[in-house]
Structure 1
Amino acid sequence: MNGRTKISMAVIRRLPKYHRYLKDLLDRDIKRISSKELSDIIGFTASQIRQDLNNFGGFGQQGYGYNVEELYYEIGKILGLDKTYNTIIVGAGNLGQALANYTNFDKSGFHVKALFDINPKVFGIKIRDIEIKDMDYVGPFIKENDIDIAILCTNKDSAQEVAEILVSNGIKAIWNFAPTDLRVPDDVVVENVHLVESLLTLTYLYRSDE
């Protein structure tokens, strides 16, 4: 990970939030901002913001603060947004189709090249010009189209088997929406999005306020 392995996941998970708020500032034509002003907007302490950014070299100047455009660009580079990523979605049910319809993926450099499913009734259907294809052809498609990332939207029972197929065909990054934890080799990264777990966290927080 090019020297970033010692950086905590907590810091890494805050970076996208910095990036999103900095984009809002750019859209409002704000040129520079102090860590205190950024703190008031984002909700992290000014000290936390400075510590987070110092993990990557620090970008502020004393008495000036941060150049918003420069910081937005540099955090984007840290997050890998200076590149584009060829992506497939596996599982063309309601969730898979909804993700295919999400236009912000393209704006962020994630280009969905195809959806894959095992249901013959959906083969050939297009979602925003993205065709649903037979899962039997996922391996050749990955290789022929230099696919970087797979978005997994299958059910729990088939998720592990599908993940193994993806990995055996060269996929090194999986965004997993299936309600199970995947077992993958050490050189494959998985980001789990467990929707029900997130919802249960919400209900806990809601109940604790009663």
Structure 2
Amino acid sequence: MSKNDSISMSVIRRLPRYYRFLTELDEQGVDRISSNKLAEIMNVTASQVRQDLNCFGGFGQQGYGYSVGQLKDEIKGILGLNNGYKAILIGVGNFGSALANHLSFEKLGFELVACFDNDKRKVGQTVGEMVIRHDDELEDYCSGNQVDTAILCIPKENVEAILDKLYSLGIRSFWNFSHYDISTRYSDTVVENVHLSDRLMTLCYRMNHN
């Protein structure tokens, strides 16, 4: 087991927040920050900040704190945001179109290279700067182009068939908005599930108990 394998997901899920806040501080011209101030921004304890960052080497200096620019770049490297992973999007409905048009993939470590849909009325139209392709073109496209991950914006009942095809084409990484449990079907995949309804219900709970 490598050192990174032993790092908890709770720490890993805080890294994007560190990166986002540090980017904002860097853009504001802030040169350095203490663990106490960073903890205040992150809404955690200073001890938690030090523990989190020590998982990856520490980066701080006694009596100085953290160099904002250096720490931002270190976390950017840890997250792999310079890798430019190639992503395809499956399902160009309202939500898929919104992602393709408005999400800054390049800043988040990915390049969106193609979009697919099974609705022939959408094929040939453009989303962002890409022409929408039919799902039938998936095999030809993936055979001739590098594809590292697939973004699934399709109904749960439509996932299984398209998932089997993507898996057979060698794709093992998914950003999944479909509510289909990919990892139970293919245990060797890397999946980030997004359940917007769960988040909204959590908000409802917090409002109800505030």
How far is the alpha carbon of 1:145 from its aligned partner? 1.7
Q: Which amino acid aligns with 1:199?
A: L
The Cα offsets for residues 78-129 of structure 1, whole Å up to 9 and x where unpaired, read as 1011211111100111111111002411333421111111110000111121
SS of the counterpart of 2:150? strand
Residue 128 of structure 1 pairs with residue 99 of structure 2 = no
Q: Contact conserved, 2:81 with 2:107, CA < 8 A, in 1?
A: no
Quote the residue 1:84 is aligned against: 84
Quote the residue 2:67 is aligned against: 67
Structure 2, unaligned runs of 5 or more: none
How far is the alpha carbon of 1:142 from its aligned partner? 1.8
Moved more, 127-136 or 14-23: 127-136
Q: Distance in 1 between matches of 2:45 and 2:143?
A: 45
SS of the counterpart of 1:143? helix
How far is the alpha carbon of 1:167 from its aligned partner? 1.3
Q: TM-score, normalised by structure 2?
A: 0.95
The Cα offsets for residues 46-90 of structure 1, whole Å up to 9 and x where unpaired, read as 000000000111110110100111110110111011211111100
How far is the alpha carbon of 1:2 from its aligned partner? 5.2
Q: Distance in 2 between matches of 1:201 and 1:145?
A: 40
Q: TM-score, normalised by structure 1?
A: 0.95
Give the paired residue count.
Answer: 209
Quote the residue 1:48 is aligned against: 48
Identity among equivalent pairs (%): 45
Q: Which amino acid aligns with 1:186?
A: S
Residue 170 of structure 1 pairs with residue 142 of structure 2 = no
Q: Contact conserved, 1:36 with 1:45, CA < 8 A, in 2?
A: yes
Quote the residue 1:195 is aligned against: 196
Quote the residue 1:37 is aligned against: 37
